[in-house]
Every structure is written in C-alpha cells, then in structure tokens.
Amino acid sequence: MMGLGLLLSLGCGGEGAPPDAAVADAAVDAEVPDAGDAHMGLRLPACVEDDPMPTDAVPSTLVRTLVPAARVAMPGPRNPALEAGEAMYRSMGLHRVSAGPGEAHVRRTELGAESASTDRRSLAWFAHLSDFQLVDDESPTRLARFDSPGTAGALRAQEAYLPRAVSAMSRTLARIERPERPYDFGVVTGDCADSGQENELQWVISLMNGEPALETDSGDDDDPIPGDDNDPKDPFDPTAFPAPWLYVPGNHDVEVVGINAPTDALRMQALGGQPTGGTRDYRRWYGAVTMSPVPVDPGRALVDRDAIVATVRAATSAGDQGPVGHGYPASGPVDTRLGANWAHDAVPGLLRVLAIDSSDRSGGSLGMITREMVDGWLIPELDRAVADGVLVMLASHHATLSMDRRNGEAGPSENPDALSPEEIEALVASRPEVIAWLVGHTHDNRIRPVPGPDAEHPGYWEIMTSAVADYPSQARLIELVDNGDGTMSIFATLVDHDADDCFERRFRALATMEWASGWFDPVSFRRDDHNVELLRAVPSHAVDGVAARRMTAPSRLESLTTLAGM
C-alpha cells in the first residue's frame, strides 16, 4: 500500500519512517529471546476457541452485519501483530465482533436511469473478490520491521491465517449458492499473492482449486504447535471456489512487496536467506520478526508477467477448475508487452469481461495505464464488443483514483505515454458498452458513478470490493438484472465469510483488532458503498443480446431472495 512505498522512497529516517514506538515494538532478533521452552515447546499461542463473535451462518449482510469494537481515536502504541500488542488490544476488547442488523440495498440512480418495473429477469450472477495478499511470511524480501500505522500491511496480525480465510470465503459462497442457480463465474481483482513469488502464486491456485493437503509454508517445515491441523502452518484441505474463476494481476502479484519491480538483486535476495527488512521466524516463539539468516527456499523465485500467465493457464491444463486459462486464452501465445490483459466471454452472447493489467512496470504501488495499451488493446477490444453486441465489464486491480503518471513510487519523473485518471475516466465513460468497472487495491468497499457526456453515453459504475486480507474481509455477490423497460440493474451485495473453526475465528479476531487498534486504514461505513442496486440504461448495441438472454433468464432475483434468506 502507499504508506509502505513512501517509507522506502524516503529511507529509514525522516517523514516516512515508522514512529519510535513501532520500531521498539518490532523487537527483532536479540531483543526477543526464543521463549519456546517457556511455552512447553510451542512456537505460537494455541487457538482461542472462545473468541466472542457470531458463528451462525447467514446468506449476506442483507440479513446480518458484523459490528466491530469501536476504533480508537489514535493508533495504539503497540503493534497488534506482536505478542505484547495482541495482549494489550485483547484486554481492551478490540478483537470483539458482535451481530448487527442487516443493511437493505440502496438504489442509486446517478447515471440517469430510473425504473419502476416489476417484470425483471436475472441475466448474470457472479462473485467479486479482491486482495488475498497470500504471503510467504518467512520470505527474506519482507519489510516486517517497518510495520507501523503509516505503513499498513508490512506485517499483519492475521497473516498466517489468510489461507483459512480464503477457504472460508469459498465455503461460504458455496453454501449460499442454490444448485438450480449456479454462479456464472467469479473474478479476483488482483493482489492474490503478496510479493510476486512463485510459491505464493501456486498457493493461490491451490486454494482456489481446493487442492487437498495444502501447506502454505516455506523454508523449514515448521510445526509451531506440535501435532496435526492445530496451527496455521499445518497442511489443510481448502474448499474450492464454487465457480469458474478469473484471475486479474495486481501490483503485489508482479512486484516485490507490491512496490519494487523485480531486479537481479531482488531475485537473488528472494532466493537467499538474509532478511534485511525483517521477516517472521517460526522457529521462535510467536513467529518473532528477525533480521538474522533464515532457511532458503527455491520456491521463492520471483515471477514476471509471462511466468504468471503460463502458470495460471497451466493450472487448468490437467482438468482443474476452470475456465481454461482463468481469463487468458486457452491456447496460443499471449503478448504481455502491453500488459497481462485478457478478454473473456463470462456469459457468452451477453457479457464480456476485459481485464486490465494496471500495475506500473517501473514499480510503485499505484497503477498506470498507457496510451500504447489503450490504442493497441483496450479500444480494439471495446470495438469488438460493440460489433459482437455484448455488454462489457472492465476489471483491474487499481481504481482510476489509484493511478498516476509517475514512474515508480513517488519517483521524480513522469511517463509521457501514461494517461491521467481524468483522461482514463473520460475515455471509458464515453463508451456506452462499458456498464461497470470492478476494482480492488484500496482494501475498502466503495461504489462510485462515473458519468458520461450525455444520455447516449451515460457512463459506468465503479465497484470496489474490500480485501479478504484485511478488515472487513468481505466479498460481493453481483447480479445483473434486465428490468424490461430499457434499463438494467446491477445488484451488489456484501458477504461475510463464515467462521466455522478456530483458525477462521482467530483470523477474524486478529483482523478486527488490527483495524480497531488504528494500525490499519479506515474503511467506509457509508450505506451507499455497501449493498446497492445500481441503475443504468441498456446500451443500444446490446439490446438484442439482452432480449435473447431474457427469454430464458429466471424471474427469481437471487439478490432479493436467496441473499435475503428467502
């Protein structure tokens, strides 16, 4: 995220440095004795089974919300990712989650469409997730010692439990799904991995495909709590994602810690054992942060865009969960010179998803879109969609407000070929075939209308879904509905993952605590950003395709029935 990048660009002192309390609390190496013997051989605290939180399954936040403890006015003095911090914030009750009332859909009409129709049909039904940040938390490229409230994400209290949370979300979505109305697809808008490593990418694929005996461990074969299936480093059987899933790369998928473009020096560091920025050591109590040498692992090799595309495509070559290529074409070359972009008919004859690789090739956490990519790929793909009579949803990791023209992270120069956020929005809003743009990156929920120039070009809805990795750790279920009167509705409904076991409850408690303690960024509690119905006119080129789909589309709207517990 942005704060961590600024810290690196400014160095370890000055405005970007972590506060003294954070550095002192990071407690590395000799300052933290190996207390394993004092804990009867344990290297992690055992899961707390009585974490106070609702455990009953509900279909969505239409029925029940999860209410965290009140967020402190100023960030707490101790890092919640370390033992002293967790103890302090638990004593304050900042890990607590209680049940709250559901939130109804808010109807939004800023793009000019209105409808009173009762003759509606459900055209498409899918899931949107983002930002797993699945991290090799023992990698020597990490910057754990710099974690502070101003550099969120360098170290997470809940990071070891992230694979369990992703699996829990897949299980929750599978439980919600009715057999007679399966999801058409799911899309993950980037930062699936945390630091562009081969092992992290493989873990993401294994998680989504539900491969048994998944072990998200590196270096030594750690067993912080002796025995099977009792600590986050033990192998477990994840729940497969319940639909064909589409992969969109983000800055953490292609850059080291999401900031630095890979270099030969960084490739050597990843494959070495010297964590100059601090990493976890699960050979020591509480996975202490260390700057001492750690075991090397060839699985930490850094991947470039070509390797990512090849790996994701190969994940379906042996009959794994589809679609084949996970967005990328099933066969033939993929030219990544303009980005690891793809076009996929998510609902043939109706809806095409165009994935934009928005990460800056020069590095940095912010995104970048170049004129070369727009002219050489995006506009031709949009023209093809119009000719084919299909609707378009864009998908990228970055929202336009998280893009810039600057090379690298706060670099001194600009890329003359890069478009400004205003130019990107004006271009896309002038294309009536684009009805929505799915994004992540900011780890928040946000709905934003981007109006077009006139009624024939009404603009699009930007739909941002929060990170699974951080509070509130939600997904969205999205339903495209034809209202039968020349308008369409996009229902977007937030879903909390169930917490069926101690690992999942501990993840939720720690993620909540990190947010409530002020050590992670604020999030939106605006109802307009949560459960929504977004209206828009059906573009003229797609009228026939919508009408054809309508003939066989169900009249039951999942967003108003299944997700409402009906």
**Residue 153 in this model has a pLDDT that exceeds 90:** no
Q: Which residues contact 525 (CB under 8 A, 6 or more apart)?
A: none
**pLDDT one-digit tens code per residue, 391-404:** 999 999 999 999 99
Is 248 a residue whose pLDDT tops 80? yes
* Per-residue model confidence as pLDDT tens digits over 182-226: 999 999 999 999 999 999 999 999 999 999 999 999 999 999 999
Identify the residue with better confidence: 305 or 21.
305
pTM greater than 0.85 (yes/no): yes
- Condensed to tens digits (0 to 9), the pLDDT of residues 483-498 reads 999 999 999 999 999 9
Spatial distance between the Cα atoms of 123 and 490, rounded to a whole number of angstroms: 10
Is the Cβ–Cβ distance between 389 and 429 less than 8 Å?
Answer: no
Assigned fold of 2-564? Purple Acid Phosphatase; chain A, domain 2 (3.60.21)
Residue 464 amino acid letter: M
How confident is the model at residue 320, as a pLDDT?
A: 63
Taking CA atoms, 123 is separated from 37, 193, 322, 345, 442, in Å, by: 60, 32, 21, 14, 29
In this prediction, residue 18 carries a pLDDT of 40
The arithmetic mean of pLDDT across residues 9-26, rounded, is 38
pLDDT in tens, 280-326: 999 999 999 999 999 999 999 999 999 999 999 998 765 567 898 99
Phi-psi region of 424 (alpha: psi -120 to 50; beta: other; left: phi over 0): alpha
Summarised one tens digit per residue, pLDDT across range 326-367 is 999 988 889 999 999 999 999 999 999 999 999 999 999 999
Query: Under a CB-based contact definition with an 8 Å cutoff, are residues 222 and 282 in contact?
Result: yes
**CA–CA separation, 381 and 392 (whole Å):** 10
Of 466, 561, 491, the C-alpha closest to 66 is 466
Q: Which helix (H) or strand (E) holds 189?
A: strand 185-189
| pLDDT tens per residue across span 77-98 | 999 999 999 999 999 999 999 9
Tens digits of residue pLDDT in 495-509: 999 999 999 999 999
Q: What is the pLDDT of residues 499-543, one digit of tens each?
A: 999 999 999 999 999 999 999 999 999 999 999 999 999 999 999
Q: Which residue has the tokens 């998908």?
A: 395
